[in-house]
Amino acid sequence: MKKKKQNIIIDCDVGVDDAIALMYALQSEDLNIQLLSTEAGNNPIESITQNTLHLTELLNKKVPVVEGVKEPIKRQPSYALNAQGKGGLGGYKYNRKKIKTSPLKESSSDAIYKVLKCNKEKTTIVAIGPMTNIAVLLKEHPDAKDYIKEIVFESGTKEKIYGKPYKSFNVGFDPEAAEIVFKSGIPLVMIPMELGHIAYLNKDDIKQFKKTNKIGKIFAKMFKKYHDYHVGHLGAAVHDACTIFYLLHPEFVKTEQAHIEIKYYKTETDDFGYVDIDFKKKANATVCIDLVIDMFKYEIFDCLKRLDK
């Protein structure tokens, strides 16, 4: 019996690890990617949308793209230009004038809501960027939560770093949006930062990308100027791809139940929001704490090789 495809909306701020996640998701025969909504985060929204359109063309996938909200709900945007590069795709550059497709003309809120309402069964949202679009969706269409199966998101950390909470990027970019999402009652699956430090590509893996095919060479270029401050000289963490691995192979991911909420850390020099996690309180989320790295890498390279077929 053929496995039924999961209906998925991916909300993304396409940088290097987002690009790996999109390749993985779009190549999967088990996921029905119905919409890509873009988020300001790694770069300004216009650049992110162009990156997303370009990737769908590069991978020869016809998936609608809608441009999302330009700025966080309350804060000034602080883009990840140092980590992801000026254009958002590390060392890879392309001619934006050659992009043939265009984003949908409606708002991200309306586009997401339309997809949710049209599906007979509940839809999973994969959030691999800040959560501004989802927060706005819940404000403008309060009943949207009734149509969402779960939100699988990448951000947060299980541990304190240097004795204080850690400002992980996706939540830190717009913590007020994440707070709205966390309080919505929608089932949550958290891919914490540490999982990406297990699921990283080492230097030999990156060399293998270059040897595999044309698309692999492009990804290898991306990695050249992708500044991963945690894995560093060992290679490149691909945090966002862990969300797709969880959806496709939960049997290879170790999870625990926990209570998560957004808290704020304010001092004379700091003012940011972060994910507070407590494994002892009544759970409202599934937290992924480990995965089978060999299987993860096999999946990534299998997807890459199948691009030639």
Residues marked as catalytic = 239
Sign of CA dihedral 244, 248, 249, 253: positive
* CA of residue 121 relative to chain centroid, distance: 23
234 close to 197: Cβ distance less than 8 angstroms: no
163 close to 248: Cβ distance less than 8 angstroms: no
Tokens in use for 290? Answer: 């480990």
Tokens in use for 9? Answer: 């909306």
The 3-state DSSP class for residue 276 equals strand
Contacts of 109 (CB under 8 A, 6+ apart): 133, 136, 137, 140, 141
Residue with tokens 């966002």: 240
The continuous run of DSSP H or E covering 285 comes out as strand 285-291
Report the number of secondary-structure helices (H) and strands (E) in the chain: 12, 11
Determine whether 159 is exposed, middle or buried from the number of CB atoms within 10 Å of its CB (0-12, 13-18, 19+): exposed
In 3D, which of 69, 67, 52 has the Cα closest to residue 15? 52
216 close to 206: Cβ distance less than 8 angstroms: no
Residue with tokens 């390749």: 23
285 close to 190: Cβ distance less than 8 angstroms: yes
Question: What single string gives the DSSP state of each residue in 8-21?
Answer: EEEEE--SHHHHHH
Sign of CA dihedral 87, 218, 243, 193: negative
